[in-house]
Amino acid sequence: MGLFIQMEWKQMLRSRWMQLVALLFVVIFAAISLIQQMALPVDGFTRQMASFLNLLLFLLPLFTLTIGSMSVASDIESGWYALLKTYPMSIFGYLWSKYVAIVASFLLILLLAFGIVLTISGITGQMQLPVVFIVLSLFMVVIFSALAVCCGVLAKNRLHALSLSLVVWALCLLLFSYVLMALGTVVSGTMLKYVTIVMIHLNPAEWLRFGYFMFSGQTTVLGPAYYGFTEFYSSFFGYFLFVVLSGLWVVLPLSIANWILSKKGRDV
C-alpha cells in the first residue's frame, strides 16, 4: 500500500492542475501578506486574517473537491481501478491510498503558501499567521479530501465528478447561507438561531469557520444570541466534541465510498 500511495502522490504532483493551484495559492497568499501587512488588529482579528480565512474557505474546498474527485473518477473511468482489483489490495486500501495522496498534495501546497507568508512576516517583523489558522487549514484539507473521494466514487466519469464536486461546493459555501437568509425573513429570531446551529453542524465549511472563531477566542463575532452555544464549545468537552465531529466528516464519506465500491463490485 505504501508504494501505491507514493505512486498516486507523484501522479498528483505531476498534474498541471495541481501545479497551477500551488502557484495560485502562493501568489495570492504573498499578495495578501504584502498588501495588508500593516493592518491593525481589531480584538485580535485582522483584515489580513479575514482575507486568508475567506480565501481558504472558498478556494481550498473548491480545488480539493474538483481535483480529488476527478482523480478517483478517472481511475474508474479508464479501467485502472478494475486492474487494481486484480491485485491483492482491498477496496478500503485503494480508497485510503487515494485519500492520503490527495491530502498530502494539498498539504504541500499549503506548506508552500504558509512558508511564503511566514517568510514575508519574518522580514517585516510581523508574525500574522496564528497556529489555530494553520491547524484549521489542515482540518479543511482532511475533511474535504474525504468528501472528494466520495464524490469521485459516486461519479460515472470525470465530468460527472466535476459536476458533483461543484454542487457540493456550492451547497457548503453558498446555498446554505442563502437558505439561512431566506429563513430569517419568515421565522422568529429564536427559531433562526436553532436552525443556524444545526446548519453549522451540517455544513463542513461553516463548521470549520466556527472552529476558527472558537479556538482563537473570537466567538463574540457571532453575537450575544449564541453565547450559550459558544460557551459549551469553549469548554474542554466542547473541544473534544469538535474533534470527534470533525473526524466523522472524514470517516463517514470514506465509509460511504467503500460501501458504494463494494456494491458496484457485487453488481458486476
Amino acid at 67: I
Model pLDDT, residue 89: 81
Neighbouring residues of 249: CB distance < 8 A, sequence distance ≥ 6: 143, 146, 147, 204, 207
Taking the whole predicted model, whether its pTM rises above 0.85 is answered as yes
C-alpha 35, offset from chain centre = 26
pLDDT of residue 190: 80
- Cβ neighbors of 153 (< 8 A, separation 6 or more) are 72, 73, 76, 95, 256, 257, 260, 261
pLDDT at 128: 61
Domain ranges of the chain: 2-169+250-263
96-106 CB burial, b ≥16 within 10 A, e <16: bbbbbbbbbbb
Which stretches in the chain have pLDDT values below 50?
Answer: 40-44, 266-268
Residue 210 to residue 119: CA distance in whole angstroms: 28
Total number of residues shown for the chain: 268
Tell me, what's the pLDDT at 79? 83
- The pLDDT score that the predictor gives to residue 268 is 38
Taken in order 210, 212, 215, 220, is the CA torsion positive or negative?
A: negative
pLDDT for res 107: 92
pLDDT score recorded for residue 38: 53
pLDDT of residue 40: 47
